[in-house]
Amino acid sequence: MIAALRCVILRDLRLAARRSSDVLTVVLFFVIVVSLFPLGIGPEPKLLRTVAPGVLWVAALLASMLALGRVFAADHADGTLEQMMLGATPLGLVVAAKVFAHWLISGLPLVLISPVLALQFDLSQEVLGVLALSLALGTPVLSLIGAIGAGLTLGLRGAGTLLSLLVLPLYVPVLIIGAGAADAAASGLGGNAQLLLLGAMLIFAGAFAPWAAAAALRISVE
């Protein structure tokens, strides 16, 4: 069972490595959207510092949204998803492995690059750290919630738009708490409370979202 999960994760990473344009588009999208704001708002440091957490979080959220459509689509089209459903490993665990691989490909690069991008907004070092940490805890939650939406909209026409409508409202709490962590750190309160809440969300989503996504996939494939 462990071998099967490791195999699924390695397979997805290998596929991403052989088709690196998919990964690059997500990261470039994130970089460009974040960089547009200082250009559009103007070089007012105080204003930039205020909007920075929100801008980075919304950009990360949209970037992870962009990658979501691909989580199950290719496996559905070529029949691999059916094999996963008829496999020896429970589908929920396979989905969890796939979501983890998806996050490594489309979420982790955003987390790693966010401190560099945040420099454009004149954030202090401490806030930078809290912001990156909030993204590190928050983006896996986005991937997990998104997987449920991706499962439900699998194989539908116009799945992309429907997926956004379905998933974006569910992202709201993560966005508020995630951006709130950096805000709290900036105002000197420390972002610990928000980070702990994000951690709790991650544990909760990690435990339940894969099973919900697996159920959604079974419905979609029928």
Interface residues toward other proteins, by CB under 8 A: 1, 3-4, 7-8, 11, 14-15, 18-19, 74, 78-80, 82-90, 94, 221-222
Q: Which residue in 59, 36, 46 sits closest to 138, CA to CA?
A: 59
Residue among 44 and 82 whose Cβ is closer to other proteins: 82
Q: How far is CA 217 from CA 154, 155, 200, in A?
A: 7, 10, 26
Residue type at position 130: V
Residue among 85 and 172 whose Cβ is closer to other proteins: 85
Residue among 33 and 211 whose Cβ is closer to other proteins: 211
Joined together, the tokens standing for residue 117 give: 């991008």
The minimum distance between CB 69 and other proteins, in angstroms, equals 17
The minimum distance between CB 28 and other proteins, in angstroms, equals 21
Q: Which residue in 202, 222, 216 sits closest to 143, CA to CA?
A: 202
Residue among 4 and 33 whose Cβ is closer to other proteins: 4
The minimum distance between CB 156 and other proteins, in angstroms, equals 16
CA distance 49 to 200: 27
The minimum distance between CB 68 and other proteins, in angstroms, equals 19
Buried b vs exposed e over 100-129: b needs ≥16 C-beta within 10 Å? bbbbbbbbebbbebbbebbebbbbeeebbb
CB 139 within 8 A of CB 103: yes
The minimum distance between CB 70 and other proteins, in angstroms, equals 13
Residue among 83 and 124 whose Cβ is closer to other proteins: 83
